[in-house]
Amino acid sequence: MLQAVEIETGAGEDVVVIDSHAIGSTAVINGLNIETGAQNDQILIDLSSPGVEQVIAISNFSLGDGHDILSIVQTDTQGGDGLTFASFFGNDVYLGDGDDQFLLDMNAQDAFWADIIADVYAGAGDDYLSLDNSDTTVTANTDPFPTVPISVRTGLNGDYDLGPGDDVFDLNVIAQEGEAAEADIFGGEGYDILNILPGSASDYTVEQVSADGYMITSLGQTLYVYGVEEINFSDDIPPGDAII
């Protein structure tokens, strides 16, 4: 467990690697504040454990100017317990100016949490976001505590501001039916592309809510998308028969 830790690397091209392969069931980062400053930095986090918890919470990732990469992989290495909670919640991500990448890949088995709750600011530059919980299997198995109700928590919540520049957001996050997951996505200036990857276009309803705003819903997920020039579903790519 990494808790209430401050990391500041200052200027220069920095690489911060947090490689946590927990032997026990808990792999948790909580209250991490990491600032990598100017120039081209990389923060690479690989968080895995054999079940129960792969959680990153209440943390701040600030990568400053430069072409930065924040890569996070959360993996449950042992399924079958029905009690996994994998989560990226209560986190702020500031990618700063420059062409940045934020990659989050969640791989939980028999999870009842597999959610992303964050505020992400990509700043200026041609940024790329890829958020993915599609390899996660969700089961609301209450064993071995059958008297305790376990609420399933999946999907995407928070604000995702792509900022100036031509940005691409690959969104591969699934919210289970009955969830109330809600996220706002702002393209900002530039030609921005949102690729919604789970399912196909027929799984979604799309409603125009303002001159440049769309409400997109499917299962337990609602997305409000503003200022994005191109929205594709998986069956549109290729050839790119975008809905707008």
Q: Check residue 53 for interaction with Ca ion (CB under 5 A).
A: no
Residue 8 beta carbon to Ca ion: minimum distance, rounded to whole angstroms: 12
50 binds Ca ion, rule: CB under 5 A:
no
Sole binder of Ca ion in the list 53, 76, 81, 100 (CB under 5 A): 100
Nearest distance from residue 54's CB to Ca ion, in Å?
26
Among residue numbers 146 through 175, which ones bind Ca ion (CB under 5 A)? 162, 165, 167
User: If binding is defined by CB under 5 A, does position 62 make contact with Ca ion?
Assistant: no
Contact between residue 54 and residue 48 where contact means Cβ atoms under 8 Å apart: yes
Min dist CB 119 to Ca ion, Å, is 15
Among 192, 194, 195, 228, binds Ca ion (CB under 5 A): 192
Q: Least CB distance from residue 127 to Ca ion, whole Å?
A: 4
125 binds Ca ion (CB under 5 A): yes
Of the pair 190, 220, the CB lying nearest Ca ion is at 190
The single residue among 41, 105, 132, 161 that binds Ca ion, judged by CB under 5 A, is 41
Binding site for Ca ion (CB under 5 A): 41, 63-64, 66, 68, 95, 100, 122-123, 125, 127, 162, 165, 167, 187-188, 190, 192
